[in-house]
């Protein structure tokens, strides 16, 4: 989920580069990249300090999943990887959907596990640690996937600050990602 990116003077550039990246990586449409509409911008501001409404986010995600027949939703975990309030709100909304038994049949919600700063910048050397520690799913990017992700990040110029160049070189998230399933409450078959 991405808001319109109106934060600061680079908002329009950020919005354009996000759509470009989504098309590069997933051939996504603008509708699936920005399910937040202009009339919702007030309720869902693009700010790392403002936590979005769990009810609103869960209804937007559920609507998008059903309308687009989505079978896999990836999000951040409760730490939001960077502690960004919008990221944690999305995780909480997906947890809410899971705990209330509202995850559609055939759809799986996964959260990206946050790691310590030291582990984050070990790059490929972090792989044995990820294999040892518990997770439901792990992915390791092939060289072609790494190059595509790097190309996408380089196109996201409004987000390409000096420390993101270090991220591109050393972050394990460019190569290794571990996920936990956001569990769905068992549906009561008697009530169906």
Tens of pLDDT along 8-67? 545 544 555 555 555 555 555 545 544 555 556 677 787 777 888 999 999 988 998 898
Q: Could you state, in order of their start, the residue ranges of all structural domains in the chain?
A: 11-186
Res. 109 pLDDT band, cuts 50 70 90: very high
**What pLDDT, on a 0 to 100 scale, did the predictor assign at position 35?**
52
**What pLDDT, on a 0 to 100 scale, did the predictor assign at position 122?**
95
Res. 104 pLDDT band, cuts 50 70 90: very high
Instruction: Indicate the pTM of the whole model.
Output: 0.79
Across the beta sheet with 137-140, the strand order is 72-76, 108-112, 176-181, 137-140
Res. 82 pLDDT band, cuts 50 70 90: confident
**What pLDDT, on a 0 to 100 scale, did the predictor assign at position 41?**
64
**What pLDDT, on a 0 to 100 scale, did the predictor assign at position 154?**
87
Question: What H or E segment, with its residue span, contains residue 21?
Answer: helix 11-26
Res 77 pLDDT > 80: yes
Tens of pLDDT along 122-167? 999 999 999 999 999 999 999 999 998 898 888 877 778 888 899 9
Helix axes 85-99, 54-67, angle to 10 degrees: 70
Q: Phi and psi of 93, rounded to 5°?
A: -65, -40
> Burial code of 101-114, b = ≥16 C-beta within 10 A, e = fewer?
ebbeeebbbbbbbb
Res 192 pLDDT > 50: no
């Amino acid at each position: 989920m991405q808001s319109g990116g109106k934060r600061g003077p680079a908002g329009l550039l950020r919005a354009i580069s996000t759509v470009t990246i989504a098309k590069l990586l997933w051939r996504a449409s603008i509708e699936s990249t920005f399910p937040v509409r202009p009339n919702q911008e007030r309720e869902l501001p693009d700010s790392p300090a403002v936590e979005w409404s769990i009810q609103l986010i869960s209804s937007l995600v559920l609507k998008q999943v059903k309308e687009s027949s989505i079978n896999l939703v990836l999000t951040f975990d409760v730490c939001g990887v960077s502690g960004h309030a919008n990221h944690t709100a999305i995780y909480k909304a997906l947890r809410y959907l899971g705990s209330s038994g509202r995850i559609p049949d055939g759809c799986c919600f996964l959260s990206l596990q946050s790691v310590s700063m030291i582990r984050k910048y070990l790059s490929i050397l972090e792989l044995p640690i990820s294999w040892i520690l518990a997770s439901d799913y792990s992915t390791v990017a092939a060289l072609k996937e790494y190059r595509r992700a790097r190309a996408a990040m380089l196109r996201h110029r409004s987000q390409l600050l000096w420390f993101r160049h270090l991220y591109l070189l050393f972050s394990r998230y460019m190569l290794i990602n571990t996920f936990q399933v956001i569990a769905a409450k068992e549906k009561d078959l008697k009530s169906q």
